[in-house]
């Protein structure tokens, strides 16, 4: 994930203390540098204290931003004083970046409220936001209306905004590989390629016959196959897996890796149940786990919409996402449940090194020798964010829900990849899922990024998003 770069607009208004723009600009740039964020901003040689006030200033700043269009993934508007509302709005309109915008206002100090040092940023922020609304430019806000940029509160705001920018930028140009057809028994994972394409998400397809054909042309002693097999063996405990399935997995993984590189893909959704086992002789789970672990999310059962949710969470957090089933109740606790898959969960989410084995459920149909390749283990007891993206053809819209919970250490003896979760008012969430026709799959990520994901998907991508943390908690 690349280092974030913000365009910075320092707002100024002529009858307020301009010297505050000088100190404010320096403070903001220092905080951004400390947070590992590159800044593109006017200098004091370009305009007064590098601020934006007049139409001419706005044109200069917009031209600078356009020069760095390919680098900038968000804009920070900071108001050391009241700020010129038109200057800010015109800069954003003229630049035409179409990236997320964060509005920040410096706080006044009660001991320094004379004409020499009074900011009035508290009031100016409202005027800036009013003008952006008139211009039709969406924007984000800090949690506090005015906030010291050196404070922990503002640094938290910055980190969340970085996550918002990463989700928006990543999804607007995402390229997803769909490997194989939707399993016939899974109407659940139907989706609209056209709605995703309208949102900037392209889907490339590859038939399983092509994957098997290319894999079967590879020799066991091919150096690239040997290298991929060594990579698999270093990733998980593979002592239970015979040599032949290991070679088949290595070939499959190599074919998919080459195809992803060729097509510039950031995520995949793979058909598994049960064509892969019947006609190729392995489950693809370990290879999918490895991709997800490398922040190239991979969803099973050709769940393309599901992998969009996985990718959104990975973009927001910089951590690996998993796709699980909302699978079982946990005793009689209404706010707890079991999440499960059989499994292709990424190594990052497991408590221990995952163990490769055969898929017990599928083995009953295709035979144990054709079902090797899953990774098993328990998910860490950590806070997590969940997200589900779905396409609604009837309403011609993309919808989603997000929220946060915790994975617990409550005892559970089962198989596959699994964990016990606790979500406030889980019954309300489950009712929402059922009443709104969402799938049984959900993406999870061991982070707390629901607010950032919601803001990215709803405010900047225009999707209909339900945040259970804000709307569903009794």
Q: Averaged over 37-58, what is the pLDDT?
A: 97
Cα separation, 112 vs 109, whole angstroms: 5
What b/e readout covers 399-417, taking b as 16+ CB neighbours within 10 angstroms? Answer: bbbbbbbbbeeeeeeeebb
Instruction: Specify whether 133 is located in the same domain as 191.
Output: no
pLDDT one-digit tens code per residue, 338-365 = 999 989 999 999 999 999 999 988 999 9
How high does pLDDT run on average in the chain? 96
At which of 125, 155, 172 does a domain end?
A: 172
Average pLDDT over every residue of 135-155? 98
Q: Mean pLDDT throughout 87-94? A: 98
CATH of the domain at 333: 3.20.14
In this structure, are 255 and 375 located in the same domain?
A: yes
pLDDT (tens digit per residue) in 100-120: 999 999 999 988 777 778 899
- 372 and 406 in a single domain? The answer is yes
Q: How far apart are CA 132 and CA 11, in angstroms?
A: 14
Residue 325's pLDDT band (cuts 50, 70, 90): very high
Contact 191, 390 (CB under 8 A): yes
54-69: per-residue pLDDT in tens? 999 999 999 999 999 9
The CA-atom distances, in angstroms, between 185 and each of 247, 272, 302, 305 are 29, 12, 12, 17
- Is residue 96 located within the same domain as residue 234? no
Q: Which of 112, 140, 172 finishes a domain?
A: 172
Average pLDDT over residues 398-409: 98
Give the contacts of 41 (CB within 8 A, at least 6 positions apart): 7, 8, 9, 10, 25, 29, 50, 64
- What is d(CA 429, CA 423) in angstroms, rounded to the nearest whole number? 9
270 and 122 housed in the same domain: no
Beta-sheet pairing, 74-79 with 140-141: unpaired
**Inter-residue contact 271 to 344 (CB < 8 Å):** no
Q: Is residue 426 domain-shared with residue 299, that is, in the same domain?
A: yes
Query: For residue 434, is pLDDT > 80?
Result: yes
Average pLDDT over residues 123-127: 96
* pLDDT at 216 (0 to 100): 97
Q: Give the pLDDT of residue 118.
A: 87
pLDDT, residue 14, reads 82
Residue 474 pLDDT > 50: no
Could you list the residue range(s) of the whole structural domain that residue 328 is in? 175-471
Do the beta carbons of residue 63 and residue 2 sit within 8 Å?
Answer: no
Could you tell me which residue, 15 or 320, shows the higher pLDDT?
320
Q: Return d(Cα 21, Cα 451) in angstroms, integer.
A: 31
φ, ψ for residue 73, nearest 5 deg? -115, 10
Strand partners, 326: 339
Strands 464-467, 5-10: pairing is unpaired
Domain end (from 172, 191, 210): 172
Q: Give the other-Cβ count within 10 Å of 450's Cβ.
A: 25
Mean of the pLDDT values across residues 152-172?
98
Question: Given this model, what pLDDT does residue 110 score?
Answer: 85
pLDDT of residue 16: 86
**DSSP summary character for residue 111:** T
* CA dist., res. 240 & res. 135, Å (int): 62
8 A C-beta contact, residue 225 and residue 219: yes
Least confident of 219-223, 358-362, 457-461: 358-362
Q: Mark whether 154 and 227 lie in a shared domain.
A: no
Cβ within 8 Å of residue 442, ≥6 positions away: 306, 309, 323, 324, 325, 326, 339, 386, 387, 388
Residues 28 and 103 sit within 8 Å (Cβ to Cβ): no
CA distance 88 to 86: 5
* pLDDT reported for residue 473: 56
Consecutive H or E run containing 9 = strand 5-10
Average pLDDT, integer, range 124-152: 98
Does residue 1 register a pLDDT over 80?
A: no
Torsion (CA) 106, 108, 109, 110 in degrees, nearest 10: -160
Q: Are 81 and 18 in contact (CB under 8 A)?
A: yes
In residues, how long is the chain? 474
Cα end-to-end distance, the chain, whole Å:
37
Mean pLDDT of 258-276: 95
Q: Are 66 and 199 contained in the same domain? A: no
In the chain, what percentage of residues exceed pLDDT 90? 93
Number of Cβ atoms within 10 Å of the Cβ of 328: 15
**Mean pLDDT of all residues in 426-437:** 97
User: How far apart (Å, rounded) are the C-alpha atoms in residues 161 and 158?
Assistant: 5
The verdict on 126 and 209 lying in the same domain is: no
Annotate 392-432 with three-state secondary structure.
Answer: ECCCCEEEEEEEEEEEECCCCCCCCEEEEEECCCHHHHHHH
Q: What is the CA radius of gyration of the chain?
A: 25
> Same domain for 139 and 198?
no
Q: Are residues 166 and 209 in the same domain?
A: no
Helix %, strand %, coil % of the chain (to 5): 40, 25, 35
pLDDT-based confidence at residue 381 (cuts at 50, 70, 90): very high
Burial profile 206-245: b = 16 or more Cβ within 10 angstroms, e = fewer: bebeebbebbeebeeeeeebeebbeebeebbbbeebeeeb
Report the CATH number that the domain containing residue 93 is assigned in CATH: 3.40.50.10940
Q: Verify that 187 and 145 share a domain, yes or no.
A: no
The count of domains in the chain is 2
């Amino acid at each position: 994930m690349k280092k974030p770069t913000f365009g910075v607009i320092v707002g100024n208004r002529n009858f307020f203390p301009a010297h505050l723009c000088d100190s404010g600009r320096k403070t903001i740039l220092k905080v951004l540098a400390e947070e590992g964020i590159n800044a593109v901003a006017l200098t004091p040689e370009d305009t007064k204290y590098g601020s934006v006030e007049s139409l001419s200033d706005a044109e200069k700043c917009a031209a600078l931003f356009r020069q760095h269009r390919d680098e900038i993934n968000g804009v920070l508007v900071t108001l050391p004083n009241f700020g010129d509302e038109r200057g800010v709005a015109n800069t954003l309109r003229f630049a035409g970046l179409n990236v997320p915008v964060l509005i920040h206002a410096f706080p006044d100090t009660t001991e320094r409220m004379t004409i020499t040092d009074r900011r009035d940023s508290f009031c100016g922020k409202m005027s800036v936001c009013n003008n952006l609304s008139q211009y039709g430019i969406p924007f984000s806000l800090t949690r506090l209306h005015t906030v010291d940029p050196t404070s922990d509160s503002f640094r938290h705001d910055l980190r969340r905004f970085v996550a918002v920018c990463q989700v928006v930028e990543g999804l607007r140009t995402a390229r997803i590989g769909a490997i194989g057809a939707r399993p016939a028994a899974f109407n659940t994972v139907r989706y609209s390629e056209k709605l995703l394409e309208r949102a900037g998400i392209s889907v490339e397809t590859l038939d399983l016959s092509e994957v098997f054909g290319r894999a079967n042309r590879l020799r066991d002693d091919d150096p690239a196959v040997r290298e991929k097999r060594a990579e698999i063996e270093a990733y998980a405990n593979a002592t239970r897996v015979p040599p032949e399935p290991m070679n088949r997995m290595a070939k499959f993984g190599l074919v998919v890796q080459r195809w992803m590189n060729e097509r510039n893909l950031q995520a995949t959704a793979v058909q598994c149940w049960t064509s892969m086992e019947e006609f190729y002789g392995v489950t693809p789970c370990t290879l999918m786990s490895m991709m997800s672990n490398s922040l190239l999310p991979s969803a099973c059962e050709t769940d393309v919409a599901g992998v969009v949710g996985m990718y959104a969470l990975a973009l927001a957090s910089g951590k690996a996402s998993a796709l699980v089933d909302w699978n079982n109740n946990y005793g009689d606790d209404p706010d707890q449940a079991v999440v499960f898959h059989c499994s292709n969960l990424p190594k990052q989410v497991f408590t221990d090194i995952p163990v490769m084995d055969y898929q017990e459920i599928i083995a009953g149909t295709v035979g144990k020798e054709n079902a090797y390749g899953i990774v098993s283990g328990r998910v860490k007891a950590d806070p997590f964010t969940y997200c589900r993206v779905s396409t609604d053809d009837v309403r011609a819209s993309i919808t989603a829900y997000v929220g946060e919970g915790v994975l617990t250490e409550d005892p559970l003896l089962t198989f596959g990849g699994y964990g016990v979760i606790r979500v406030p008012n889980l019954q309300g969430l489950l009712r929402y899922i059922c009443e709104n026709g969402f799938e049984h799959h959900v993406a999870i990520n061991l982070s707390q990024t629901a607010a950032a994901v919601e803001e990215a998907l709803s405010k900047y991508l225009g999707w209909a998003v339900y945040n259970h943390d804000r709307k569903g908690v009794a």
